[in-house]
Chains A and B, each alone.
Chain A
Amino acid sequence: MNLAIRDIRYHRGRFILTSIGLGLLLGVVMSMGGIYRGLIADALAILHANKADLWVVQQGTNGPFAESSRIPEDIKYRIRAVPGVAEASPLSFQTVQIERSGKPFRFFLIGYELGGFGGPPEIVAGRAIRQKHYEMVVAKAMRMQIGETIHLGLHDYTVVGITGKIVSSSGDPAAYVSLADAQDIQFKKDNDAIRNDRERITVNLAAMPSLSPSQGRYLQQNIAAITESTHTVNTIVARLAPGANLQEVQARISRWNHFKPISDAEQSAILAKGMIEKARMQLGLFRVILLVISAVIISLIIYTSTLDKIRVIATLKLIGAQNRVIVGMILQQSLLMGVIAYAIGYGLIVLTYDKFPRRIVLEAGDLQMLFVIVMAICMISSFVGIRKALKVEPAEALGG
């Protein structure tokens, strides 16, 4: 006869309520694990979407995600000429926050070269960008409709396509425009600023008597062209030809002044370890604290339940029950509570994880590990009750 099951059956209300409470706690533990995995998945989403072998960024930086990186767009031609490089494409990244329907609207804007790579990984509705200007593809999470317009920088952009769930390392949904548009949005000055700059240059050049008027005009045009140029990008991504040696390509680009080649693996490490390390530690600490709280709760419940059964245990001992009968009853109750609480927590997370504002990624390995930990906690927690039970004397069954 299974005494643990019989006791649970008799006290099912109390047992179910306790298990639900514990299950909610375990659900939070699971969600925190899922949030951590989601952070990694989000951080690496753009990396995985690009499928680049190499990220060339500004020297001395870990850009373009971890730090600001600005390099001239035309370096793409030089990179394409490196032996082993199959293709190279410039990319621009910026976080944009505007107001939409009276609420802050934040997204991660990616500019890519039409015909190059680094654009939307898939189009789930509408079409890809075809024109060089004023078209936009947005992530589904932005909840925009095809044909809807949005004002960025100096111009309006029309949504022509919807891409899947792609987000920045901060979890902001991504939107795509052509590289030229992204550069305009990021770097182009407004008309007043341009006029002011030109006048300042004109005045400065006029103050140089050694320049003839035609030399002054020539210089003014060239200086303005440089200061008004938007041909800057945050990174150039490159894919290698089959059989090319990544280290050799990296070594060659490293020798150039002002540029730093980062491999995809290094970029993953920067994103996954560098940028979300603190979040990982924070979440890890919370998980440990919650598991300790769960252990304390299970211990207290089992201990209290054992105290409630002192007379039952004494009676069992008096009628000759072996210790394993009593130990089994307490241990099985503890393990059953763990299993049911785990199932409740799991059910809760499965039903709600897609409603979290940030991505929750539930990995089978993490869940299995948590199950093992919960079972271990239940076993350890039941020792307090078992110790108490084994100390009960049969004589305690006597008396009124």
Chain B
Amino acid sequence: MDKSMYAIVVENLTKVYGKGETAVTAIADATFQVRPGELVAILGPSGSGKTTLLTCIGLINEPTHGTVVIDGAVVADGGWHGGIDLKRMRREKLGFIFQAHNLIPFLTALENVMIALEINHLTRNEAKGRATELLASLNLGHRLNNYPSALSGGEAQRVAIARALANKPKVILADEPTAALDTENGKNVMALLKKLAVENHSAILVVTHDHRMVEGFDRIFQVSDGRIIDEHNKVAAGRDHVG
């Protein structure tokens, strides 16, 4: 398999918390790949291990076993790959979208996007230009100077998406991005993610237990008790879960 053609490659990924008798296996032998431009869902009930899987791919949680490759670079190989700069990888290769948008409350919408760019060493003017452009493309041009507290749930989530996209990451990881939104806003966000995956050629991996949103995904991995028990195409997933 040519790993360089995938944005994400996960092989035999295992995450065990604790040791000995108290050890709990959160993820067991997960193996899958995601291509650039693909929108993939990890679906499962609470406690099934889907967020742990996301954090292992997102370089937040160190895997116990297995391999993780992001944009052709081995980041984990039975623990973190030697010499890997996790923060730099997160900054340059990954974008994160959260359930509660996690915008910084004391920064305006524009500044929330700019901060991600400035952290990645863009100058203030460059960051401002790109952030303004991104927000405008997400129909938030009129909300640049509003604080998150003044934004609606949908608007705040779009700002969070803009922040995740700011550094043009190869992989976007989204943790329950529609959980705090109503159905209409949730569907809008999913449609937006789908559009961005195609336009930016980014792989988007979404963790969700929200069956309402499965329609837009290219592929769906069903997770239960830490194992990927099934992989659906979008048509099958829609038939199985919707309604």
Contact A400 B119 (CB under 8 A): no
9-residue interface stretch from B24-32, B87-95, B138-146, B213-221: B87-95
Tell me, in angstroms, the Cα distance from A3 to B107 when the chains sit together. 8
Cβ-Cβ contact count across A and B, 8 Å cutoff? 80
Contact B61 A315 (CB under 8 A): no
Interfacial chain A residues near B89, Cβ < 8 Å:
320
SS class, residues of chain A in contact with chain B: helix
Closest beta carbon of chain A to B164's beta carbon, Å: 8
Interfacial chain A residues near B51, Cβ < 8 Å:
398-399
Contact A320 B88 (CB under 8 A): yes
9-residue interface stretch from B9-17, B68-76, B173-181, B182-190: B173-181
Interfacial chain A residues near B92, Cβ < 8 Å:
320
Contact B107 A6 (CB under 8 A): yes
Residue B99 at the chain A interface, CB threshold 8 Å? yes
Nearest residue (CB) in B for A315 is B102
Contact A400 B179 (CB under 8 A): yes
Contact B147 A395 (CB under 8 A): no
Contact B114 A322 (CB under 8 A): no
Residue A9 at the chain B interface, CB threshold 8 Å? yes
Interface size on B, residues (CB 8 A): 36
Residue B55 at the chain A interface, CB threshold 8 Å? yes
Interface residues of A, Cβ cutoff 8 Å to B: 1, 3, 6-7, 9-11, 311-312, 315-322, 325, 393-395, 397-400
Indicate which residue in B87, B96, B104, B176 contacts A400 across the interface (CB closer than 8 Å). Answer: B176
Tell me, in angstroms, the Cα distance from A317 to B55 when the chains sit together. 13
Q: A10-B147, A320-B120, A325-B119 are in contact. Are A397 and B111 (CB under 8 A)?
A: no
Closest beta carbon of chain A to B122's beta carbon, Å: 11
Nearest residue (CB) in A for B108 is A6
Indicate which residue in B87, B88, B99, B106 contacts A9 across the interface (CB closer than 8 Å). Answer: B106
Interfacial chain A residues near B115, Cβ < 8 Å:
1, 3, 316, 319, 321
Interfacial chain A residues near B147, Cβ < 8 Å:
10
Closest beta carbon of chain A to B210's beta carbon, Å: 12
Nearest residue (CB) in A for B124 is A1
Contact A397 B102 (CB under 8 A): yes
Nearest residue (CB) in A for B99 is A400
Contact A319 B60 (CB under 8 A): no
Interfacial chain B residues near A312, Cβ < 8 Å:
104-106
B 50-67 binary contact with A (CB < 8 Å = 1; else 0)? 010011001011000000
Contact A400 B100 (CB under 8 A): yes
Q: A1-B115, A400-B176, A400-B180 are in contact. Are A318 and B90 (CB under 8 A)?
A: yes
Tell me, in angstroms, the Cα distance from A321 to B89 when the chains sit together. 11
Contact A319 B105 (CB under 8 A): no
Interfacial chain B residues near A318, Cβ < 8 Å:
58, 60, 90, 96
Tell me, in angstroms, the Cα distance from A311 to B101 when the chains sit together. 11
Interfacial chain A residues near B98, Cβ < 8 Å:
315, 397-398
Interfacial chain A residues near B179, Cβ < 8 Å:
400
Closest beta carbon of chain B to A311's beta carbon, Å: 7
Nearest residue (CB) in A for B91 is A320
Interfacial chain A residues near B102, Cβ < 8 Å:
311, 315, 397
| Additional pairs, 16, CB under 8 Å, beyond known A3-B115, A395-B55, A400-B100 | A1-B114, A7-B106, A10-B105, A312-B105, A315-B102, A319-B115, A320-B87, A320-B92, A320-B119, A321-B87, A322-B87, A393-B60, A397-B98, A397-B102, A398-B60, A398-B99
Greatest chain A CB density within 10 A among B51, B105, B124, B179 is at: B105
Residue B163 at the chain A interface, CB threshold 8 Å? yes
Indicate which residue in B100, B106, B180 contacts A11 across the interface (CB closer than 8 Å). Answer: B106
Closest beta carbon of chain A to B77's beta carbon, Å: 21
Tell me, in angstroms, the Cα distance from A10 to B108 when the chains sit together. 10
Report the 7 A-B pairs with minimum CB-CB distance, sorted nearest first. A320-B91, A10-B106, A320-B90, A7-B106, A315-B102, A395-B60, A320-B87
Interfacial chain A residues near B90, Cβ < 8 Å:
318-320, 394
29 A–B contacts, CB within 8 A, in A order: A1-B107, A1-B114, A1-B115, A1-B118, A3-B104, A6-B111, A7-B106, A10-B106, A311-B102, A312-B106, A315-B102, A316-B115, A317-B87, A318-B58, A318-B60, A319-B90, A320-B87, A320-B91, A320-B92, A320-B120, A321-B119, A393-B60, A394-B90, A395-B60, A398-B51, A398-B54, A398-B99, A400-B99, A400-B176
Nearest residue (CB) in A for B94 is A320
